[in-house]
Amino acid sequence: MHIDPRKCVACGNCLAVCPVSAIYIDPVIRRATVNLDECVECYACQNRMSKEDLNPTLVRTIRGFFKLLRIRFDPEPDVCPTSAFAPQQLAWPRSIRQAFSDPCVPHESTGVYGRGTEEVKTNDVTNRVGPGEVGFTVEFGRPAVGARFREVQAVTMALARIGATFEKNNPVTALMPDPTTGAINPEVLDEKVLSAIVEVKTPEAMLPAVLRTVEEVAATLNTVVSVGVAVRCDGDGENRVEKALAGEGYPVFRGKTNLGLGRLSNLDAQATTAGAAGPAGR
Ligand code: SF4
Ligand code: SF4
């Protein structure tokens, strides 16, 4: 993202909108300026602020005159008064920043908006995590810190070394030439994004190894990392993983429960329902 210095009147409204604090008022040119190394191309400034087309010279003159009288003349806080944002055509690899940071743009690799993955929220129809397996989401950068793929790679390579399997339908996996190594395309390693989600799965017995690996590597990174654990419950709604998590010293609570209403992976229930209700029962 760029800001047109000919239009900006340095009102400062956009500073609070930027989730990674990439916008600052340059004291030399006295205009809002974007630190392009930190900007994750989320387009929050461009898309979330109202815009007016006031004449920049007029606004600066009025603001300067009022300042002499110790009176402030400021636009409404959610407005860029002179439509000064100037988005650029993003070339590879910088374009990856917008794909991972702007929720209005779908990921090319998965076609999914937002963070580019449905995670296990649709496990009843996608069957990503099967019986006896544990699914992990390892999220980097949220809230408001961001992450570079070099940091993501430190974890993905460590996970690959212990034998975790990466989810195919995930935009970070799509950046790996060979997912068995966890190595990410070197062209994007220095790109910064608002957040990225890595998804792996392992047999249940590997739960402690995955958690310790993520914890160890995360402690060396300059971003925030959070882990989600997904597991199938048995017919009584129970599972062994919660106990194992508690044994490892992690507080356990059920964040989201998928009731399996899609039924495609619940073949017994599907057959029963189809038998009772006929074809329309599905
Ligand atoms: S809101 Fe617009 S005019 Fe105000 S500082 Fe930001 S870019 Fe400049
Ligand atoms: S595009 Fe996003 S990260 Fe970049 S300056 Fe605008 S709000 Fe900040």
Instruction: Kindly state if the Cβ of 18 falls inside 6 Å of ligand 2.
Output: yes
pLDDT single digits (tens) 62-109: 888 888 888 877 778 899 999 999 999 999 999 999 999 998 888 877
Whether 150 and 213 map to the same domain: the answer is yes
Q: Given this model, what pLDDT does residue 278 score?
A: 39
Do residues 52 and 79 lie in contact, with contact meaning Cβ atoms separated by under 8 Å? Answer: yes
Residue 211 sits in the same domain as residue 164? yes
Three-state SS at 208: helix
Residues 116 and 249 in one domain: yes
**Residue 139 Cα to ligand 2 middle (Å):** 20
pTM for this model (two decimals): 0.86
Question: Whose Cα sits closest to atom 7 in ligand 2?
Answer: 18
Alpha-carbon span 84 to 81, nearest angstrom: 8
Overall domain count for the chain: 2
Q: Which two tokens stand for residue 233?
A: 């419950």
CA-closest candidate to residue 38, choices 24, 17, 22: 22
The answer to whether position 54 is within a domain reads yes
Task: Give, rounded to a whole angstrom, the gap between the first and last alpha carbons of the chain.
Answer: 48
pLDDT number for residue 268: 61
C-beta separation of 51 from 16 below 8 A: no
194/145 Cα distance (integer angstroms): 7
Tell the residue number behind the tokens 């209005």, with chain if given.
Answer: 104
Asked if residues 22 and 35 have their Cβ atoms less than 8 Å apart, the reply is yes
Q: Atom 8 in ligand 1: which residue has the minimum CA distance?
A: 8
Domain limits at 32?
Answer: 2-86
Paired sense of beta strands 79-80 and 50-51, if any: parallel
Per-residue pLDDT, 175: 96
Mutate to test the pocket of ligand 1, among 11, 26, 47, 53 (most ligand atoms within 8 A of CB): 11
Please name which ligand lies nearest the alpha carbon of 88: 2
Q: What was the pLDDT predicted at 115?
A: 74
38 alpha carbon, closest ligand: 2
User: Is there a single domain that holds both residue 136 and residue 42?
Assistant: no
User: 153 in ligand 1 pocket by Cβ < 6 Å?
Assistant: no
97 with 239: CB under 8 angstroms? no
Token output for 274: 């189809």
Selection from 180, 159, 166, 36 nearest residue 109 by Cα: 166
Which parts of the chain register pLDDT below 50?
276-282
Q: Which atom of ligand 2 is nearest to the CA of 101?
A: 2
Same structural domain for residues 81 and 110? no
pLDDT over 70 percentage in the chain? 92
Which pLDDT score, from 0 to 100, does residue 263 have?
60
Q: Which helix (H) or strand (E) holds 24?
A: strand 23-26
Which CATH number do you get for residue 248? 3.30.70.260
Please report the pLDDT score of residue 282 as a whole number.
Answer: 29
Q: Is residue 96 part of a domain?
A: no
